[in-house]
Amino acid sequence: MKLLIVTLFAAILMAFSGIAFGMPDMKPQPEMEATKAAPIAGKIVELLNSSGYTYLLILDADGFKDWVAIPELYVEVGDEVELQPGVQMGEFKSKPLDKTFAKIIFSGGPTDKYNEKRKVNAHKTTDMSAPAPGNKNKKSDRKIVEGLKVAKASGEGAYTIAEIIEKRDALQDKTITVSGQVVKASIGIMERNWIHIKDGSGESGASKLVVTTRDSADIGDIVTFTGVFHNDVDFGGGYKYATILENASIKK
């Protein structure tokens, strides 16, 4: 039985990165135990990312908290997650984090059910022409203007969308500002809003940038966002973005 548990534990760890040497350093432990077969579900109350892994402190429905380690996944504090059953072990030292966990569960990552939910949410777009909450008798009269040329934002760190795409490698992880017209909005997905903007820059003027924000904007609005720019972001469930502006705020 012990051999089976150790084998299962090793298989889950190997699945994290596909190569054994990619695993975080850890010292041998006297005891490991398989967790129950039910998925690990609950709200993220704390998270850490390091060396290709995401460490989540999850609060379950019964009020208990457990640390769970999974292959790197884009999630945020407050997200409700469902993860594959894993193997629990005692004291675990992560050198990259310089942190010791009293106990931790190693899981292979999200369940198929959770990934499907993320897929559905990623494509769920709110009809921004509908009455806004608290203003039920009024509809937005703004329209998307195809080919509209939006003036470049002013100030240091300001770029057009064409410039962002051209300089994407140099702009990685930098705080930048960009203006554009809202052409699509998905509201309340994974505790944030997903705003798609165009500014008419570039040869075809068709370039578009996805922005994640807690602020709101209507389709047709001309807005200026400031946020952190990232390349090649994978949110899991098969959804990847070559360029994205994250945790952005609208310039008032």
CATH topology match: 2-110 vs 122-130+142-250: yes
Region 16-44: mean pLDDT is: 56
Give residue-wise pLDDT tens across range 90-103. Answer: 889 888 888 999 99
How far is C-alpha 72 from the geometric centre of its chain's CA atoms? 10
Phi-psi region of 16 (alpha: psi -120 to 50; beta: other; left: phi over 0): alpha
Give me the count of residues in the chain: 252
DSSP for residue 78: T
Which residues does residue 100 pair with via DSSP β-bridges, in sequence order? 93
Q: What pLDDT score was predicted for residue 239?
A: 66
Give residue-wise pLDDT tens across range 159-169. Answer: 999 999 999 99
Phi, psi of 250 (to 5 degrees): -80, 130
**In the chain, where the domains are located:** 2-110, 122-130+142-250
Quick one: pLDDT band at residue 120, thresholds 50, 70, 90?
A: low
Helix (H) or strand (E) holding 121: helix 112-122
Residues 227 and 9: their CA atoms lie apart, in Å, by: 39
Going by C-alpha positions, the residue among 217, 117, 209 that lies closest to residue 165 is: 209
CA 100-106-111 angle, 5° bins:
140
Give residue-wise pLDDT tens across range 207-236. Answer: 899 999 999 888 889 999 999 999 998 876
Phi, psi of 10 (to 5 degrees): -65, -40
Q: What pLDDT score was predicted for residue 144?
A: 78
CATH class of 122-130+142-250: mainly beta
Going by C-alpha positions, the residue among 5, 3, 56, 10 that lies closest to residue 34 is: 5
Region 200-206: mean pLDDT is: 81
pTM of the shown model: 0.50
Least confident of 78-82, 178-182, 222-226: 78-82
- Into which CATH architecture does domain 2-110 fall? Beta Barrel (2.40)
Residues 120, 190: contact at Cβ < 8 Å?
no
Mean pLDDT, the chain, as a whole number? 78
Residues 44 and 70: their CA atoms lie apart, in Å, by: 13
Q: What is the DSSP string of 171-205?
A: HTT-EEEEEEEEEEEEEEETTEEEEEEE---SSSS
